[in-house]
Amino acid sequence: MRPLVVIALSLAAPLFVCLALGFGNDPIALQSSRPWLHREGGFVGAENCRACHLDHYASWRATFHATMTQLPQPEVVRGHFDGIAVPCDGGAVVPLARAGRFLMVVPAAAGKTREAEVALVVGSRRYQQYFERQVRGDGSALIRLPILWHILAQRWLPLDTVFLEPDRDEVDSHAATWNDSCILCHNTGPEPRLADPRDPVSASRFDSRVAELGIACESCHGPAAEHGRVRRDPLARYREHLGVSVAAAAVLPTHLEQERAIGVCGQCHGARLPQPLHRIRAWLTTGPTYRPGDLLSEHVTPITAATPVLGNTDPAAFALRFWSDGTPRLTAYEYQGIKQSACYLRGAMTCSSCHSMHAGDPRGQMRPDIQGNATCTQCHEQIARDLTGHTHHVESSAGSSCVECHMPRIVYGVTELHRSHRIDSPDAEREALSGRPHACTLCHVDRSPLWAGEQLRTLWGDRFRVPAARRDRAPIDLPDAIASLHAGDAAARAVYAAAIGRPTATFAEGAAAPLRAHLAVAMGDGYPMVRWLAQRSLASLEERRPSGLSPLLAGIDHTSGEGSRRLAVEGLLDFLATDGKNRMPVPMVGMLMNGDCRLQLGLVIRLTNLQSRNLISIGE
């Protein structure tokens, strides 16, 4: 009898499993009962993917996508809520913790203060932002608080210092509403649920929900309810294992045709407007209509430099997000850059050609199987066979790096410069006329656009022309980095302020003192982020070759008032012209510096006066 019992039990086991699946607790229903979360539209949440996809779940959890939006738990909050006041726009904000809650004492009306409790946390890589919930009638709104924590620098920064905007004195100038902006890209299955999009009185009340806080499985693979229902059936899984097609497959971006594939990333990495525009009402209630696998163009219109601005906003608001030739210069426009690239237009490139969402370093998520130039030479095989013949640079140098030349760091976002996703070749004349930073002079920071144009003609042929003028009207024979650092608009100044201190920057010994002095001048710039990047680059140059400036730099805060900044700049320039000059090579000609290491300030001021033609203000 025993063998029969064993056989009977083994046959009954699948039945017990099926009964448990059919009549046990429903994890999807349990999760949907939590605050914030919904399970409409077929969304089920990442935890329900985990059971079958443990490895993919683990690799996703390691990414910054997974931690983009979180509740303010102690293990999540990165800022120091230590009760120490943070200067902010002429006043102060005090971050503090009390009984497991995270609070900020912020300025209020009539010179008073109030306590704001952190209800939501956004960001986990470069900086972290904090939002409070404000009750508004029968709804609420999540409003961004005025300071953020810079994770890499380990310090608080006022919000208005991290965008490409001039100094402000308004503590709430960036008090954005999460419910109608951040929610749309930094979460899965967002539903803003605006009280009534047709009623102006209700325009600030929400009851927002998401399928998941952060960017999770279903953002890229689509709502998974039907996929999970079918695959809970063991027989269906066995059939699929045997090669029999089973319905309700998840969307795999790597298996989509080119346009649909880049749309999966472009739904967030491509700033856009609803298509048609009246869909904005649906966006503000039930959320965006795009789902992975769709054609993105059927749901949205990507913003370009030519996109008209509606309402009372600055009519140049969209155009300023691009260099004048239409190349994106802010993050979240990578989709637009790719669609301008020959690699996409005349090739088969998709986001997955270079990136992997489930492998490699989370910082960039580059494919680990193709490192360095192999990212490009997987297609450009002929160039790989004779790399130096193509680049005319030493193979180990930045000049032989595909991305340094064809994807330079000219895109600003989250206090850093990122690679352009418009993949093209450098052209000195085009860049000089458009104001777009030139790849060659981002490395050769002591060279002019004239030099760059001549080198392009000598090394790559007569199709290149030597530029005769610059968009910012600075002298064309000045080193591009110096002219752009002083005369360019804030985006150009930020790009070169960062480039001069980068390890890839190369310059003659005689440029060491002038570059330091010009960075010191940029530390007095009217845009806080230009000052931040200039100070960082100056500190980097000091690490490579000390001149004695480091102690002075350590005592300078780029967020301090104009008077303090002026004294700091004067102190740095005086030091270079006295103690510092004995440790620096003799300044080379053409760098706006005399032989005694004193800047030709009259000429520098003539350059900075050109900024009045190039005033911009760009949020993110």
Strand (E) or helix (H) holding 116:
strand 113-122
- Asked if 121 and 150 touch (Cβ cutoff 8 Å), the reply is no
| Biggest distance spanned by C-alpha atoms of the chain | 105
- The pLDDT value given to residue 425: 97
End-to-end, the C-alpha distance of the chain in Å comes to 74
Residue 110 in 3-state DSSP? helix
Is the same domain home to 492 and 356?
Answer: no
Tell the residue number behind the tokens 């890209």, with chain if given.
185
Q: Do 314 and 434 sit in the same domain of this protein?
A: no
Residue 571 lies in a domain: yes
Confidence at residue 242, expressed as pLDDT on a 0 to 100 scale: 80
> Mean of the pLDDT values across residues 406-432?
98
The residue-averaged pLDDT of 229-245 equals 80
Domain that residue 531 falls in: 425-613
Per residue in 507-546, pLDDT (tens digit) is 999 999 999 999 999 999 999 999 999 999 999 999 999 9
Residue 502 pLDDT: 98
Could you tell me the pLDDT band of residue 611, with boundaries at 50, 70 and 90?
very high
Give domain status of residue 244, yes or no. no
Residue 292 and residue 436 share a domain: no
Q: Is the pLDDT of residue 348 over 60?
A: yes
Do 535 and 431 fall within a single domain? yes
- The percent of residues in the chain predicted with pLDDT above 70, rounded, is 93
pLDDT of res. 318:
94
For residues 276 and 172, state if they share a domain.
no
Residue with the bigger pLDDT between 102 and 170: it is: 102
Q: How confident is the model at residue 276 (pLDDT cuts 50, 70, 90)?
A: very high
The label of the residue with tokens 């998709």 reads 350
**pLDDT tens-digit series, residues 75-87:** 999 999 999 999 9
Residue indicated by tokens 């990212």: 375
**Cα–Cα distances in angstroms (integers) from residue 43 to residues 48, 219, 348, in the given order:** 10, 10, 31
Kindly tell me the number of DSSP H helices and DSSP E strands found in the chain.
Answer: 26, 15
Residue ending a domain, among 333, 351, 367, is 367
Q: How many domains does the chain have?
A: 3
Hey, CA dihedral for 301, 302, 304, 310, is it positive or negative? positive
Domain boundary among 145, 176, 207: 176
Shared domain check, 436 and 330: no
Reading the block at residue 147, the tokens are 């300071």
In a domain, residue 152? The reply is: yes
- Does residue 207 contact residue 238 with C-beta atoms inside 8 Å? no
Beta strands in 327-415 (DSSP E): 409-413
The mean per-residue pLDDT over the stretch 431-455 comes to 98
The residue-averaged pLDDT of 600-611 equals: 96
User: Is pLDDT at 244 greater than 90 in this prediction?
Assistant: no
Round to whole Å and give the CA distance between 83 and 421: 42
Residue 340 domain-assigned (yes or no): yes
Q: What span, in angstroms and rounded, lies between the C-alpha atoms of 489 and 483?
A: 11
Domain membership of residue 134 (yes or no) is yes
| Confidence bin at 238 (pLDDT 50/70/90) | confident
> pLDDT by residue (tens digit) across 1-30?
455 444 344 444 444 444 444 444 455 554
Peptide bond between residue 276 and the one before it cis (omega within 30 degrees of 0): yes
Distance, in Å, from the CA atom of 266 to the CA atom of 14, rounded to the nearest integer, reads 43
Q: Find the mean pLDDT for residues 380-397.
A: 95
Residue 103 lies in a domain: yes
The whole-angstrom separation of Cα 216 and Cα 47 is: 10
Q: Are 455 and 529 part of one and the same domain?
A: yes
More confident position, 478 or 17: 478
> Is 596 a member of any domain?
yes
- Non-local (6+) Cβ contacts of 88 within 8 A are 146, 147, 158, 171
Tens-digit pLDDT profile for residues 555-605: 999 999 999 999 999 999 999 999 999 999 999 999 999 999 999 999 999
Residues 288 and 433 in one domain: no
What the block records as the tokens of 428 is: 């000195």
Instruction: Say if residue 235's pLDDT is above 60.
Output: yes
Q: Residues 570, 496: one domain?
A: yes
597, 579 Cβ separation under 8 angstroms: no
Cα separation, 257 vs 371, whole angstroms: 24
Residue-level pLDDT at 11? 44
- Domain end, chosen from 130, 146, 176, is at 176
Look up residue 467 and give its two tokens: 């530029």
Same domain, 484 and 341: no
Mean pLDDT within 344-361: 96
Is the same domain home to 292 and 437? no
Q: Tell me the pLDDT of the chain averaged across its residues.
A: 92
pTM for the model: 0.92
Q: Is the pLDDT of residue 251 over 50?
A: yes
pLDDT tens-place string over residues 125-159? 999 999 999 998 888 999 999 999 999 999 999 99
- pLDDT tens, 485-506? 999 999 999 999 999 999 999 9
Q: What is the dihedral of CA 191, 197, 203, 204, to 10 degrees?
A: -10
Together in a domain, 600 and 479: yes
The helix (run of H) or strand (run of E) holding residue 582 is none
The pLDDT, as a whole number, for residue 13 is 46
Q: Which helix (H) or strand (E) element contains residue 98?
A: strand 91-98
Whether pLDDT at 89 is above 80: yes
The burial of 607, by beta-carbon neighbours within 10 Å (0-12 exposed, 13-18 middle, 19 or more buried), is given as buried
Q: If you ran DSSP here, which 8-state letter would residue 330 be given?
A: B
Instruction: Report yes or no on 24 lying in a domain.
Output: no
Q: What is the mean pLDDT of residues 265-294?
A: 95
